[in-house]
Amino acid sequence: MAAETTSAARRPVRWIAPPTGWSRAIAAGISTRQGGVSRQALAELNLGARTGDHPEHLRVNLARLAAATGVPLAGSARARLEHGVRICVVREPGETPTGDGLLTDRPELPLTLTVADCVPLFLALSGRAVALIHCGWRGVAGGIVAAGVQAITAFTGTAAEEIDAWIGPSIGPCCHWLPAEDAASLPAAARLGERPADGLRATWRIDLPGAAVAQLTAAGLTPERIQATRLCTACHAKLFFSHRRDRGTTGRMLAWIMRRAP
């Protein structure tokens, strides 16, 4: 059966937009799992190319999302994730060799990356540059939030106080636990409390979005320019894919940001 004739193909694409107050000169958002044609564990709007999904499903899903958002996502600059702290400056479409952050000053060039629990961090200097950062717990521990802010300020010669930041949906502290040895590498703002070991390794409740807010503030952003969408990807199974909830067998959402042409 052709991908476009499945019942899922007739459902509308749903995506998450930035909170009220985000600049209209910056297109940004993150997809949900609703409105695509992928099946079973990848249903419906899977956009992860390395999930084993059928290429035609991925093509249709991306085309449907692009049509719904009005953003030319097929011509994006894409991050090939490594769970590190590398920020890549890009000015052309295509996949970066490796890196967890993309930065550009080119209008009408979407920056994209995939997530399924990690924090998508959107940074914007309206009219000058945008950046998109993949913040997993290893990246947050390594300082990727500060690296993203430093990259965009150095690239534009602009103070951090002028940057707008949006923290998109990700796994929340309600569902995110790490072993004590991993949690120890994270900033204090990320560690909310220890759970007794009960014969197993001790674990800590982790708040990655909260850590990102704290690190953005420490990097010089003003609190009124930092917004967060506190939707837990693990809690909302009908809305989001979740690597932890689904034990690794799941799809990916797509995050994007783009400067609109003047």
Give the model confidence (pLDDT) of 164-186 as tens digits. 999 999 999 999 999 999 999 99
- pLDDT, tens digit, 9 for 90 and up, residues 80-115: 999 999 999 999 999 998 999 999 999 999 999 999
3-class secondary structure, 213: helix
* First vs last C-alpha separation in the chain: 43
**According to the model, what pLDDT value does residue 1 have?**
33
Phi then psi for residue 141, to 5 deg, are -65, -35
Q: What is the mean pLDDT of the chain?
A: 93
- pLDDT, tens digit, 9 for 90 and up, residues 232-244: 999 999 999 999 9
How many CB atoms within 10 Å of residue 28?
26
Task: State the Cα–Cα distance between residues 215 and 206, nearest whole angstrom.
Answer: 15
- How large is the angle between the packed helices 144-156 and 208-218, nearest 10 degrees? 40
**According to the model, what pLDDT value does residue 195 have?**
78
**According to the model, what pLDDT value does residue 200 have?**
62
Does the pLDDT of residue 7 top 70, yes or no?
no
**According to the model, what pLDDT value does residue 197 have?**
62
Can you name the CATH fold of 3-171+226-259?
CNF1/YfiH-like putative cysteine hydrolases (3.60.140)
**According to the model, what pLDDT value does residue 198 have?**
62
Alpha-carbon separation of residue 88 from 144, 253, 255 (angstroms): 12, 21, 16
**According to the model, what pLDDT value does residue 5 have?**
42
